[in-house]
Structure 1
Amino acid sequence: MKTQQSITTLPASPADDRRKRMIQYTVAMTIRLVCVILLFFVQGWWLLVVGIGAVVLPYIAVILANNVHGGTPGDVERPGVIVPVRDPRTGSPYGPDHDA
């Protein structure tokens, strides 16, 4: 699926940002749930791996969910900024025919 080209440097809308963070949180907590269930079925050093996953993943999920910007923030640029041009002979911003 092709991503839509952005024509502005504005960040993602709050609804899109919130949806992305909710999906990340849900995925992390689903993996945690799998880790908790696996605690009853695995043995040996896998028990330690699954136990660490069950304990650490809630912290990681909350950090991901609270990451409001979600990436590098872009500078907002105003399109069509008017740049004053000065007459090189007089230094006037109005041109040679205008009396300042």
Structure 2
Amino acid sequence: MKSSNRAPSATSLPRAPRDEAGARSARYLVMMGIRILCFILMVVITPYGWYTWVLGAAAILLPYLAVVSANVGEEARSNRREDPERALPAAPRATTAAPPEPQARVIRIEESRPVESRTPPPSPDQPDRTT
């Protein structure tokens, strides 16, 4: 089993399900529009001939094809995923040794709890100054 320590890149991930469903719906609606156009042309164009049969067959077969293509996901259409690292040119190698870059320091900011003011209770021999 091949294991990779690298995270997948954004271009190698499949489409979001919402985007894929939208594309499939649009493809279905376009095919249904073509079917309606075929049906209208089949009835309107005269004289009837071989093209009438072709338009009729298209009007009959397009719903089946539209449903099948709408149910096929993007994964089944193309299993090809892009690997952007293969398309990038190799970085030029430095001929001189560059000074090491300083390591970035992490500054962590945390919220502290509020400090309660703790005043000692007044002693019995001291007079009360609050009144």
**How many residues are matched?**
71
Corresponding residue of 2:13:
10
Q: How much does 1:8 deviate? A: 3.6
Corresponding residue of 2:78:
72
Matched, 1:56 2:61: yes
Q: How much does 1:74 deviate? A: 5.5
SS at match of 1:49: helix
Corresponding residue of 1:36:
39
Corresponding residue of 2:115:
none
Equivalent AA in structure 2 for residue 48 of structure 1: W
Q: TM-score, normalised by structure 1?
A: 0.62
Q: TM-score, normalised by structure 2?
A: 0.49
RMSD of aligned alpha carbons = 2.1
Identity %: 39
Give the unaligned 5+ runs of structure 1.
Answer: 1-5, 76-100
Q: How much does 1:10 deviate? A: 1.2
Counterpart Cα distance in 2 of 1:48 and 1:61: 20
Kindly indicate whether the alpha-carbon contact (under 8 Å) linking 1:35 and 1:51 is maintained by their aligned counterparts in 2.
yes
Query: Which is higher, the Rg of structure 1 or of structure 2?
Result: 2
